Amino acid sequence: MRKATAIFILILLMTSCSDDAVRFSDTDQSEPTLVTIKSDTIINPALGVTPLGELYISIYESYTAQGYGYGSSTNVAANVESVAISDPSFSVLLNSQPYIPVSPDIVAAIKSQAINSSLYAALQATSLSEAGKQKLLQLYENLEILKMENMEYDAVNSYMLEYDASVSNNPGLTPNDSEILLITSTILNNGFYAESKKRRRDRDWDLSIGHIATTTYGADLGPADAITYSLSGKYSLL
């Protein structure tokens, strides 16, 4: 996967461009064609958590338990990496995967690009093919529908599992696309699950376009970066 420098990415970003029923975008024939979602059909809400998903939840919970929250990208990135590195499983991951320390400037630039321009513009900083970018955009669009319908986490999990299957079985995506998209969806879904355990309101999860953009950028670098860029993007304030 592409290992971009902070300077190149910053230049690129600044120059690039009913309650129980949900109908998803049909812009791609390979996209899941779920029309209704009912809580009694949901698979285990722990989604058969992957090791990467478990690690993300562990670091997320440690970050919040230590009293860290929202702040500048510089402070948040430093705190996220401090918490992550103290996790033994993250250290094991670092020994087997390449890792690039989080750049607060890149986090801020990508998040700003996604919020103030578009998610598509922010995705120009990744190595996703055009088909991969469109597949990621469809994920966001369908999550937006779930959000507008105030669907609970079990509905999100059901859709995410279908989405993962459609990525794995999509011949129009490159292996690089599939890897980035599956890492991104794993991080996002486990994040939604972790949030759902803490919240008691109509919708027990939240969605941020900037968070999705930074998660995808991190996934392009590797699994460890997906975790730290995701949390840094989630808690950084512009």
Overall domain count for the chain:
1
Q: Is 191 inside any structural domain?
A: yes
Q: Is 169 inside any structural domain?
A: yes
Give residue 197's pLDDT. Answer: 80
Q: Is 222 inside any structural domain?
A: yes
Q: Is 21 inside any structural domain?
A: no
10-residue stretch averages of pLDDT, the chain, 238 residues long: 42 38 39 30 41 92 96 98 96 89 98 97 98 98 93 91 93 96 94 80 76 97 96 95
Q: Is 226 inside any structural domain?
A: yes
Give residue 62's pLDDT. Answer: 97
Residue 119 lies in domain: 50-235
Q: Is 199 inside any structural domain?
A: yes
Q: Is 91 inside any structural domain?
A: yes
Give residue 96's pLDDT. Answer: 84
Q: Is 94 inside any structural domain?
A: yes
Question: DSSP assignment of the chain, as one string?
Answer: -----HHHHHHHHHH---TTB-----SSTTS----B--GGG---TTTT--HHHHHHHHHHHHHHHTT--SB-HHHHHHHHHHHHHTSHHHHHHHHHS------HHHHHHHHHHHHHT-HHHHGGGS---HHHHHHHHHHHHHHHHHHHTT--HHHHHHHHHHHHHHHHT-TTS-HHHHHHHHHHHHHHHHHHHHHHHH--SSS-----HHHHHHHHHHHHH-HHHHHHHHHHHHHB--
